Amino acid sequence: MKKIRASAPGKLMLFGEHAVVYGRPCLVTAVDKRISVSVSGILGDIVWVDAPDVGIKNYQCRISDLGKSEDVPKGVRFIERALINFFEKYGVKKGLRIETKSDFSSKFGFGSSSAVTVALLAAVTELFSIKISKKELFDLAYKTVLDVQGVGSGFDLAAAIWGGTLYFKKGGKKIEPILVKEWPLVVGYTGIKADTAILVGEVAKLYTSHKEVVENIFDDMEKIVNQAKREVEMDGYNSLGELMNINQGLLDAIGVNTFELNNLIIAARESGAWGAKLSGAGGGDCMICLVANNKRLAVEKAITGKGGTVLKVKTNALGVKIE
Ligand code: MEV
């Protein structure tokens, strides 16, 4: 029986995290670390999942029971919900064997759940010979993410689908590719896994108690994103670095910075980076910095010296593709 394999890239948030949840734009880039999902039809009404990278082996569920158990690993929750949404939208149903394989650990905050969701939906639409536009794929994947975790702007799904670097607004209200060669980035991992939904919830509490102040911070983040979009089109890395530093100050102001992130960020700046900030929800995970080629080694050494792990990634990667 036909076996289809699709792969989708992870992402790095460049500017505008959190504010994007409140309708402001952000800049995101796809990275060359990918997740692939293979799907084949099988007889019967069982969905089998093997996802060895997240410790799932021989997971089985009846199609009629998809989404019913609370007690399933996070990776499987996205797969089950994506299938429910796909079967409902296209009025098809079939037993499936699904295998996933990842180039990166789900702990890095590169968006593994989103990449799995996108690659799976691309693979099943291909398997059933259904023509689907990128925006339709985005809408189906975004519904899946909201069904599972309740919050999120969908920026990571857009990166997984379109690839490259995008200027993005919540729910796909704007998805605009930005022309840029390769971001001269160094990525440092703090070693601490963070939970996006919890951090978004904490920012929501702050928003409720200090709405006017936090709205102003989000407005400033929007200005940073718009300015960064102009600078990147002119290769203005020095200025982009400064914008990263300002964005970081504002992220600190809304309470998502941590001691460990800060250590890596300061080390990167002091060893010659143009600028540095956390990337994503904060609370741990990764920081990014913009670095000239001749400073890269010194910055990487400074990050490692502070206990961080340098993750080698290339930006502007290709979006979802059938392999
Ligand atoms: C998390 O990586 C980025 C947030 O803006 C959440 C989202 O946009 O979905 C905090």
pLDDT digits (tens, 9 = 90+) for 111-156: 899 999 999 999 999 999 999 999 999 999 999 999 998 999 999 9
Q: Which two three-digit tokens encode residue 246? A: 């300002």
Mean pLDDT, rounded, of the chain = 95
Residue 287, by phi and psi: left (phi above 0), alpha (psi -120 to 50) or beta? beta
The response to whether residue 21 sits with its C-beta less than 6 Å from ligand 1 reads yes
Question: Mean of the pLDDT values across residues 18-43?
Answer: 97
**Among the listed ranges 24-33, 66-75, 108-117, 176-185, which one has the minimum average pLDDT value?**
66-75
- Among 155, 195, 278, 287, say which to mutate for ligand 1: greatest number of ligand atoms within 8 Å of CB: 155
Give the model's pLDDT for residue 90. 95
Give the model's pLDDT for residue 311. 96
Name the residue with the closest Cα to ligand 1, atom 9. 152
What is the biggest distance separating any 2 CA atoms in the chain, rounded to whole angstroms? Answer: 60
Which amino acid type is present at position 194? A
Alpha-carbon gap, residue 178 to 316, rounded angstroms = 10
The number of residues in the chain equals 323
The response to whether residue 10 sits with its C-beta less than 6 Å from ligand 1 reads no
The response to whether residue 61 sits with its C-beta less than 6 Å from ligand 1 reads no
Give the model's pLDDT for residue 1. 65
Active site residue 220: no
- Between the CA of 26 and the centroid of ligand 1 the distance, in Å, is 10
- Among 12, 15, 20, 108, say which to mutate for ligand 1: greatest number of ligand atoms within 8 Å of CB: 20
Over the stretch 278-318, which tens digit does the pLDDT of each residue have? 999 999 999 999 999 999 999 999 999 999 999 999 999 99
The response to whether residue 300 sits with its C-beta less than 6 Å from ligand 1 reads no
- Is residue 182 within 8 A of residue 290, CB to CB? The reply is no
Q: How confident is the model at residue 233 (pLDDT cuts 50, 70, 90)?
A: confident
The response to whether residue 218 sits with its C-beta less than 6 Å from ligand 1 reads no
User: Angle at the Cα of 77 (from 71 to 79), degrees rounded to 5?
Assistant: 145
- Among 11, 15, 18, say which to mutate for ligand 1: greatest number of ligand atoms within 8 Å of CB: 18
- Between the CA of 155 and the centroid of ligand 1 the distance, in Å, is 7
Give the model's pLDDT for residue 111. 83
Q: pTM here?
A: 0.96
Q: Catalytic residue, from 50, 139, 147, 156: name it.
A: 156
Which amino acid type is present at position 145? V
Give the model's pLDDT for residue 36. 97
